[in-house]
């Protein structure tokens, strides 16, 4: 099963210059709790921005660079190779998380079974990376939880889970 997890701004913005647009500890905790014990799949740029494999998770990096071989991650070179690997190594109900970046989200949103979206109540006009449009004809809200800004979290946000109609 393919799930996508991302935090997005009011206009679907997710990043700028290969960095997140915000520092929201409550969202990082949500990400950690949701993905721990599961497979996380990311593009090379996302992996490089993190700088290391994420602990307590199986890490898979999708890249076109045949010379990219960091320790602690599995490498695939195409969506088809990833799908084959997951089919061979995951049970059908096991959640595998796409964690970014923008190009990887675009590649997999049509194949995803579930979306975990942190909707951040802010716009960043200078963002350069965006999450694909969430088509309300395909996705329905299954669960949501609002979180009000506080001393550590600068913006109001909402954790939303979408499932396919």
Alpha-carbon distance 121 to 56, whole Å? 30
Q: Residue 93: which pLDDT band, with cuts at 50, 70 and 90?
A: confident
Buried-exposed string 119-153: b where 16+ CB fall within 10 A, e elsewhere: bbeeebeebebbbbebeeeebeeeeeeebeeeeeb
pLDDT at 9 exceeding the cut of 90: yes
**Mean of pLDDT values over 48-74:** 96
Note the pLDDT tens digit of each residue in 116-149: 999 999 999 999 999 999 999 999 999 999 999 9
From the candidate CATH numbers 3.40.50.720, 3.40.430.10, 3.40.1260.10, 3.40.605.10, the one assigned to the domain spanning 2-135 = 3.40.430.10
Percent of the chain with pLDDT over 90: 95
Question: Alpha helices, DSSP H only, in 8-164?
Answer: 25-35, 44-50, 79-89, 102-108
pTM greater than the 0.85 cutoff? yes
Question: Alpha helices, DSSP H only, in the chain?
Answer: 25-35, 44-50, 79-89, 102-108
Least confident of 27-36, 89-98, 131-140: 89-98
**What are the CB-based long-range contacts (under 8 Å, 24+) for 79-82?**
79/107, 79/108, 79/111, 82/41
- Beta-carbon neighbour count of residue 87 at 10 Å? 9
Alpha-carbon distance 49 to 126, whole Å? 19
């Amino acid at each position: 099963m393919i799930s996508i997890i991302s935090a997005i701004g009011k206009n679907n913005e997710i990043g700028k210059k290969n960095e997140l647009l915000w520092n929201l500890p409550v969202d990082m905790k949500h990400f950690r709790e949701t993905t721990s014990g599961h497979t996380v799949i990311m593009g090379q740029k996302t992996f490089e921005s993190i700088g290391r494999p994420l602990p307590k998770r199986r890490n898979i990096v999708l890249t076109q660079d045949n010379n990219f071989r960091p320790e602690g991650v599995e490498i695939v070179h195409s969506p088809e190779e990833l799908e084959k690997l997951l089919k061979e190594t995951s049970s059908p109900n096991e959640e595998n998380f796409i964690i970014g970046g923008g190009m990887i989200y675009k590649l997999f949103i049509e194949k995803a079974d579930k979306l975990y979206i942190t909707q951040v109540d802010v716009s960043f006009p200078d963002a350069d990376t965006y999450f694909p449009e969430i088509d309300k004809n395909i996705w329905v809200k299954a669960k949501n939880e609002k979180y009000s800004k506080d001393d550590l979290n600068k913006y109001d946000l909402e954790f939303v889970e979408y499932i396919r109609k």
